[in-house]
Amino acid sequence: MIGLRQPIPILSFDRTLRSTLLASLFSATLFAVPLSGVSLSKANALEVTQDEIVIAPNLERFVLDNGLEVVVIPDRRAPVVTHMLWYKVGSADEPEGQSGVAHFLEHLMFKGTEDHPDGEFSKIIADRGGQENAFTSYDYTAYFQRVAKEHLPLMMEMEADRMENLVLSNAVVAPERDVVLEERRDRVESDPGSRLREAMNAITFVNHPYGSPIIGWQNEIEALNKDAAIAFYDRFYTPNNAVLVVAGDVEPATVLDLAQNTYGKVPRRAEPGERLRPAEPPLAGERRIVVTDPRVRQEALSHTWIVPSQTTGEGRTPEALDILSYVLGQGPSSRLYKALVLDAGLATSAGAYYQSTALNSGRFVVYASPRPGHTLEDIEEAAAQELSKLLEEGVTEEEVDRAKRSMIASSIYAQDSQTGLARLFGAALTTGMNVEDVQTWPSQIQAVTPEDVVAVARDYLTATPVTGELRSPQSNADTADKSGKES
């Protein structure tokens, strides 16, 4: 689903922990637009008229005179609201040589305005029993608060204030840059899985900015300063480049009135322009990266293919890729899990996922981790055999129907999550999709045929993938010893 069951690399600035919510090695990321999950047993047992399902059917959308898009999703089951402000800018929009400035600015947005000085924003929310956070992706940056509904006007007033009136000085910028550098050391350089993930991105997207880490390269973070942050803020943090999503116990007309009296007073500061990015040329030859580290306790293998995203894919291609990931690698009945984990006993885990929510290219990933006594070479060969079998023999009607039932059931249960729906629509609207794309997703999934699934597999998974290996030094020694004996 759009935003469901897919890893989206995101950096999150938690005001308490300042934690970077990075992706787990080859599985779904934390904070990757998470929605309520559903077990396969529940999904398969659910009987629904699938082509009638609409996600958030009571949603209303407005556009203010200054260009701010406002989306309201009423949910009156509890007297709380989720207030999320999304900017159509992420790390892939950064000026050359300034990697990390989008995430850096996300940190600096908590440094205050004249009306709400440094620390006051978070204190006000905490004093009212609310929650807040912010996160940066390749394609968007978002800020959110979850509070009792009576505090919504204050949240809108404060967020509109820092959209226009952020105050920065060298005295706050330099220490925050050190915080980001320490974050990079702790979360990337000290973690073998994160290092592999960063290297994989770099060799997957050589020409496209998706190849640069969201947190930034160390030498470029070190050069970031107040001027760089303010220039980025002035260009992109303007109402005509933002989407406001409010979900919860609200009336759309009331939210519109509040938005006009807060955000509506913020003038357009800039015209960010079309989000033009260089295209990634087709992969020529093999690209493989190996990270070896004595701290590795669980080795892992990953294959990545560049594929169309929900935004760039034509026809039913994105939905077919979604179902393909399900058939191939989602859950215990999936082909990879059954073949590598249950039947052969080669792996402790095996699966696939499709990262569809992106302004530009998406990714299709197959991953596995070997069981003790088996090697990365063993699981790579077994995964290749299973993929070849699918390409040659196709998929069954039963497999596709099972995937549809599970995925559509998940979309139904997802609507129980107020915050999840806000994230779902915010991510979609900042990556080139529209409200209808999200609302009609179940019917789009329902229209996919087994022939569609096989077609996208043959179109995209027959190419040479980018391969990543996470190894322990002992694994390398064992492999070298085995090669020596065989020769």
DSSP string over 23-74:
PPSSSPPTTSS------HHHHHH----GGG--SSTT-EEEE-TTS-EEEEEE
Which pLDDT does position 24 carry in this prediction? Answer: 31
Q: Is the dihedral of CA 211, 10, 27, 3 positive or negative?
A: negative
Look-up of token digits 């596709």: 400
CA-to-CA dists, residue 196 to 30, 203, 293, 380, 408, angstroms: 18, 11, 10, 17, 33
Q: Report residue 53 as tokens.
A: 């399902």
Which pLDDT does position 460 carry in this prediction? Answer: 98
Domains of the chain: 58-265 (3.30.830.10), 287-486 (3.30.830.10)
- H-helix or E-strand containing 158? helix 152-164
Which pLDDT does position 29 carry in this prediction? Answer: 27
- Give the rounded distance of the alpha carbon of 16 from its chain centre: 22
Instruction: Note the pTM of the prediction, 2 decimals.
Output: 0.90
**First-to-last C-alpha distance (Å) of the chain:** 48
pLDDT of residue 38 exceeding 80: no
Q: Report residue 405 as tokens.
A: 């039932």
Which pLDDT does position 476 carry in this prediction? Answer: 62
pLDDT of residue 122 exceeding 90: yes
pLDDT of residue 335 exceeding 90: yes
pLDDT band at 259 (very low <50, low <70, confident <90, very high): very high
pLDDT of residue 132 exceeding 80: yes
Higher-scoring residue by pLDDT: 36, 349:
349
Residues with catalytic roles: 106
Mean pLDDT score, 476-483: 55
Q: How far apart are CA 404 and CA 408, in angstroms?
A: 6
Which pLDDT does position 60 carry in this prediction? Answer: 99
CA-to-CA dists, residue 117 to 164, 334, 342, 421, angstroms: 14, 52, 57, 31
pLDDT in tens, 413-425: 988 999 999 999 9
> In the chain, pLDDT over 90 holds for what percent of residues?
84
pLDDT of residue 11 exceeding 90: no
DSSP tag of 250: -
Which pLDDT does position 482 carry in this prediction? Answer: 53
